[in-house]
A and B are shown apart, each in its own frame.
Chain A
Amino acid sequence: MDKTIIEVKNVSVKYITGDLRNIGLKEYLMKKLTRQYEIKSFMAVNDVSFIVEQGDMLGIIGNNGAGKSTLLMVVTKIMQPSAGTVKVNGRIAALLELASGFDADLNLKENAYLRGAMLGYTREFMDKKYPEILAFSELQEFEQRPFKQLSSGMKSRIAFSIASMIEPEILILDEVLSVGDGGFREKSEAKMREIIQNGKATILVSHSIPQIRRMCNKVLWLDHGNQIRFGEAASVCDEYDAFLKTGILPEKENK
């Protein structure tokens, strides 16, 4: 019963950067007049294709700036690809970056509900799930604290708890599991295995190759936006480890 959950086909993303960020109108006009206004663009993701099937756990690896986060933004439909197509079957719960999108002034419960709302769930559903989320995060005593008073480890705990307890069909985790103490990390890995066993798909972005080896069955390796490898976890990880030692990039695979 192979079921394709995510199909990414020849996706490229042209990332725009340069003077359009953090600029004022005065500055903009001055730069326009003196012809210094500059908008640069580069291919953050260049012709990447992969398939995630039911029960798969895909690891995405690569150095900083390889385009991992940009690719996830396309999968979660925050960004539109400049070329290629993305097909997603199912509801995504994404954790892009650690504990992002939470409001510093709200307390834990309010933030949990807000996050649930953003992921498209109903109030009744959150009323039912919230006790489980709180229990899993083990942060009961901090329930009424504003978020800014929590440590970053606690924030990532609650973020993971929300994303995993609301039974997403697709779970996307970007550098989430690297923080948090050992005990919680083990618990969250177990939870993720449970999610996978329930036939759901997961994408994990991590710099920890041992963790990728332990958790994932497929791996996608990106470098400067280019797809170096997509395949079985063990073999791709071996090649990646060799690359880290020698610094020589292997030939791009023929698609």
Chain B
Amino acid sequence: MLENIKCKIKQNRFLFEELVKRDFTKKYKRTVLGMLWSILGPLMTLGVMALVFTQFFGRNMEHYIIYLFCGNLLYSYFKESTGTGMTALYDNSGIFSKVNVPKYMFLISKNVSSLINFGINIIVLFIFCIIDGVPFTWKFIFLLYPIGCLVVFNLGMGLILSALYLMFRDMKYLYDIFTLLLMYLSAIFYSIDAYSQEVQYLFYLNPIYVYIRYFRKIVLEGAIPRLSFHLLAAAYALIALLIGAVIYKKKNYKFLYYI
């Protein structure tokens, strides 16, 4: 499946590059400051959260700012990637109703710019780690695993959401509410240690929490999660991608009627 998509991407490389270029030009409106904003936004959120929550949740926790950063980093990437990906199909309806192009290209090109943002913010996280005295170990390599899972998960969610948005135009508002709730459920600024074991397991139903937990385990505890945890992380990503791909495959010629 993934191989198949990869192969098609190769065929459409020129189109892909042009679309990415277009999305970048439009996003940053040809300004240098545009790029800077993508770092400043998350940093400001982090600053406010640290200011507000350190007294409540950070008292008994070492490196609370890094704890916050990990949560915020992954959650923001998910939110940005799916939020912008959601409109990918609708925004390009003028194109795919006139020219026969593979429709998932629009989504992938939008995901690229949020992935680059994410990459920049990971570097900022590492800088924070150095400042805060978090030891770097070889285990940091394992961070690539949750990152890869999240990229695939976001892609799948983007496929699902962009199709839904084309069908129901008020999806945007519903999704905003959903992401807000998701933020509170992802243990970004609090720890779930206070809950009973059963409740803690419930958190694993939230894919975003799973990816955040993985990150924290490596960065803060210097430990590699269990194998079952890896499987869970991959399963969420693949299920999302599968559902999204099936919707696109089935609806490929029907999308036209919803515009």
For residue B25, CB closer than 8 A to chain A, the reply is yes
Expressed in whole angstroms, the minimum distance between the Cβ of B113 and any Cβ of chain A is 15
Check A78–B170 contact: CB distance below 8 A.
Answer: no
Return chain B residues, CB-CB under 8 Å to A73: 97, 256
Check A105–B25 contact: CB distance below 8 A.
Answer: yes
For residue A187, CB closer than 8 A to chain B, the reply is no
Check B22–A78 contact: CB distance below 8 A.
Answer: no
Q: Measured between alpha carbons, how far is A227 from B97 in the docked complex, in Å?
A: 24
Q: Measured between alpha carbons, how far is A16 from B258 in the docked complex, in Å?
A: 9
Given contacts A76-B100, A106-B22, A117-B14, contact A100 B94 (CB under 8 A): yes
For residue A248, CB closer than 8 A to chain B, the reply is no
Check B170–A21 contact: CB distance below 8 A.
Answer: no
For residue B96, CB closer than 8 A to chain A, the reply is yes
Q: Measured between alpha carbons, how far is A24 from B168 in the docked complex, in Å?
A: 4
For residue A235, CB closer than 8 A to chain B, the reply is no
For residue A197, CB closer than 8 A to chain B, the reply is no
Check A113–B170 contact: CB distance below 8 A.
Answer: no
| Interface footprint category on B | 20 to 34
Q: Which of A34-63 contact B (CB under 8 A)?
A: none
Check B259–A101 contact: CB distance below 8 A.
Answer: no
Check A106–B253 contact: CB distance below 8 A.
Answer: no
For residue A179, CB closer than 8 A to chain B, the reply is no
Q: Measured between alpha carbons, how far is A166 from B169 in the docked complex, in Å?
A: 37
Check B170–A25 contact: CB distance below 8 A.
Answer: yes
Q: Which residue in chain B gives the minimum CB-CB distance to A118?
A: B99
Kindly supply a per-residue 1/0 record for chain A positions 109-130, scoring 1 wherever the CB is within 8 Å of any chain B CB and 0 otherwise: 0100110111111110010000
Check A17–B18 contact: CB distance below 8 A.
Answer: no
Expressed in whole angstroms, the minimum distance between the Cβ of A234 and any Cβ of chain B is 32
Q: Measured between alpha carbons, how far is A120 from B98 in the docked complex, in Å?
A: 14
Return chain A residues, CB-CB under 8 Å to B21: 110
Q: Measured between alpha carbons, how far is A70 from B167 in the docked complex, in Å?
A: 21
For residue A103, CB closer than 8 A to chain B, the reply is yes
Q: Measured between alpha carbons, how far is A97 from B94 in the docked complex, in Å?
A: 11
Check B99–A23 contact: CB distance below 8 A.
Answer: no
Kindly supply a per-residue 1/0 record for chain A positions 1-32, scoring 1 wherever the CB is within 8 Å of any chain B CB and 0 otherwise: 00000000000000111001111111110000
Check A23–B169 contact: CB distance below 8 A.
Answer: yes
Q: Measured between alpha carbons, how far is A94 from B258 in the docked complex, in Å?
A: 22
For residue A96, CB closer than 8 A to chain B, the reply is yes
Check A114–B18 contact: CB distance below 8 A.
Answer: yes
Check B170–A26 contact: CB distance below 8 A.
Answer: yes
For residue B101, CB closer than 8 A to chain A, the reply is yes
Check B169–A22 contact: CB distance below 8 A.
Answer: yes
Expressed in whole angstroms, the minimum distance between the Cβ of A79 and any Cβ of chain B is 6
Q: Which residue in chain B gives the minimum CB-CB distance to A81?
A: B253
Return chain B residues, CB-CB under 8 Å to A116: 14
Return chain A residues, CB-CB under 8 Å to B171: 25
Q: Measured between alpha carbons, how far is A73 from B255 in the docked complex, in Å?
A: 14
Q: Which residue in chain A gives the minimum CB-CB distance to B256?
A: A79
Partner of A117, one of B15, B170, B257: B15
For residue A77, CB closer than 8 A to chain B, the reply is yes
Kindly supply a per-residue 1/0 record for chain B positions 3-31, scoring 1 wherever the CB is within 8 Å of any chain A CB and 0 otherwise: 00000000010110111011001100000
For residue A80, CB closer than 8 A to chain B, the reply is yes
Given contacts A25-B174, A100-B94, A101-B94, contact A119 B22 (CB under 8 A): no
For residue B95, CB closer than 8 A to chain A, the reply is yes
Partner of B22, one of A96, A114, A123: A114
Kindly supply a per-residue 1/0 record for chain B positions 78-101, scoring 1 wherever the CB is within 8 Å of any chain A CB and 0 otherwise: 000000000000000011111111
Partner of B168, one of A23, A80, A105: A23
Given contacts A20-B258, A21-B259, A106-B25, contact A114 B98 (CB under 8 A): no
Kindly supply a per-residue 1/0 record for chain B positions 197-225, scoring 1 wherever the CB is within 8 Å of any chain A CB and 0 otherwise: 00000000000000000000000000000
Return chain A residues, CB-CB under 8 Å to B19: 114, 117
Check A20–B98 contact: CB distance below 8 A.
Answer: no
Contact sample, A vs B, 12 pairs, CB 8 Å cutoff: A16-B257, A73-B97, A73-B256, A76-B99, A76-B100, A78-B96, A78-B100, A97-B98, A100-B98, A106-B25, A110-B21, A117-B12
Chain A residues in contact with chain B, CB under 8 A?
15-17, 20-28, 73, 76-80, 94, 96-97, 100-101, 103, 105-106, 110, 113-114, 116-123, 126
